[in-house]
Amino acid sequence: MDMSYTPAEDAFRARVRAWLETNVPAAGSLADDLEAMRAWQRKLHSAGLLAVSWPKEYGGAGLSPMEQAILNEELARVRAPGVVNAMAIWWVGPAIMKYGTDAQKQRFIPKILDAEEIWATGYSEPSSGSDMAAAKTRAERQGDYYVVNGQKIWTTLAHISDWYFVLVRTSNESKWGGLSLLLMDMRSPGVEIKPIRQIDGGAEFNEVFMTDVKVPVANLLGKEGQGWEIVSSALVNERSGIAGSIRGDQALDWLITTTRGQKKEKDPKVRQRIADLAIKGAIMRYAGMRSLTDSLREQLNPHLSAAMKLMGTSLVQEYSEAAMEILGPYATLMWDEHAPFNGRWARQYLYDRSMTIAGGTSEVQRNIVAQRILGLPRR
């Protein structure tokens, strides 16, 4: 692992940093404003700072994975808003590039980067827990269409999305081999979307009900039975990366600020707690560097990504748990005028409960680590 940057990479970082200094929207200015979110994504795209690792033929900048990592770091450093079509940029678009037909590439990819069409991904089901391979949403071939019936849950941004990257069962012959991936128009008759009000007050997740939804056979991505392969390759992107370490550093910095504000910086137990978190943050940072090295060498390492996902999401929860303990009883206030830091830590604490579930539960990640990294037997 080479920890240095080339002159060209340093120059790219300087260009990104200079652009962000004058173009990052004010904090909270994009909240619940879909058109403002689209505009922010388009602004990044026009500056050549969106999907920089996408090939130029698909509208990307055609830059290296290292430059993509640098961009992610800089965006995280200034706490830039995420882009509204992030799932399409990171997972849907690359999957269509890899597995899609020429017609699918021409139809769907151009409208991803300019946010003309927003995508959601449908994996989880209420009766399947964290086992995506247990999906029961059924797609039956009827002539030129698949007729889809079933339910998905925890679908992020479904309420504002145009298209659905949805995992369905086309066969019962094999648990994993019976899964396929469809590109579904979310305005199709039979699609019903119900937002889920979360404990922190947000509603970005949704239930999606599908009743006799007709999807053209031309919208099958890859082959029948290839769905598990497609989704697995997408989730590797979700569970790895180094920008997360920057966000961890920011959380640690805010935790230290909170500690000083409560005048507990000399408490030996608090100091030890923060030191432990700082050490774990450093471990995550270097694991991210290792993951990036694998990417630069074109080596797929899903086992490392599982370990990073397990540790990273647990660490996120530890940051907010520590803050709540340091704040004491007032930490429970969220929208009250007396809430410390306007209730930031209370909202963060509640939201962070989801982190060890989203993208694959910690229990699943532990099984992957135990079996595929440590070589432990199954029981």
- The end-to-end CA distance of the chain, in Å, is 36
142 and 199 part of one domain: yes
Among 172, 202, 225, residue at a domain's last position: 225
Angle between helices 65-77 and 243-261 (to 10 degrees): 20
User: Average per-residue pLDDT in the chain?
Assistant: 88
3-state secondary structure of 183: strand
243 or 16: which leads in pLDDT: 16
Residue 108 maps to a domain = no
Residue 166 maps to a domain = yes
263 and 361 part of one domain: yes
296 and 356 part of one domain: yes
Residue 253 maps to a domain = yes
* Percent of the chain surpassing pLDDT 70: 93
186 or 303: which leads in pLDDT: 186
Which pLDDT tens digit goes with each residue over 52-70? 878 889 998 888 878 888 8
Q: Give the alpha-carbon dihedral of 209, 213, 219, 221, to 10 degrees.
A: 40
Burial class of residue 52 in the structure, from the number of CB atoms within 10 Å of its CB (0-12 exposed, 13-18 middle, 19+ buried): buried
Among 191, 225, 259, residue at a domain's last position: 225
Residue 104 maps to a domain = no
Q: What is the mean pLDDT of residues 315-323?
A: 94
Q: Give the Cα separation of 145 and 138 in Å (integer).
A: 13
- Structure confidence at residue 277 as a pLDDT band (50, 70, 90): very high
Q: What is the mean pLDDT of residues 34-47?
A: 94
128 and 198 part of one domain: yes
Which pLDDT tens digit goes with each residue over 264-274? 999 999 999 99
206 and 128 part of one domain: yes
214 and 176 part of one domain: yes
3-state secondary structure of 316: helix
Q: Give the Cα separation of 6 and 13 in Å (integer).
A: 11
Q: What is the mean pLDDT of residues 5-13?
A: 92
Q: How many domains does the chain have?
A: 3
CATH number, domain with residue 282: 1.20.140.10
User: What value, to the nearest 5°, has the Cα angle with vertex 162 and ends 360 and 197?
Assistant: 55
283 and 316 part of one domain: yes
- Structure confidence at residue 239 as a pLDDT band (50, 70, 90): very low
Q: What is the mean pLDDT of residues 286-310?
A: 75
| Residue 2 confidence (pLDDT) | 60
- Structure confidence at residue 240 as a pLDDT band (50, 70, 90): very low
Is 80 exceeded by the pLDDT of residue 300? no
Which pLDDT tens digit goes with each residue over 351-361? 888 888 776 78
Give the residues across from 121 on adjacent strands. 165
Q: Give the Cα separation of 25 and 278 in Å (integer).
A: 30
CATH number, domain with residue 144: 2.40.110.10
221 and 243 part of one domain: no
Look up the domain containing 274 and give its range.
Answer: 239-373
Q: Which residues are catalytic?
A: 238
Which pLDDT tens digit goes with each residue over 82-105? 899 999 998 999 999 999 999 999
- Structure confidence at residue 301 as a pLDDT band (50, 70, 90): low
250 and 362 part of one domain: yes
Quote the DSSP letter at residue 371: I
272 and 150 part of one domain: no
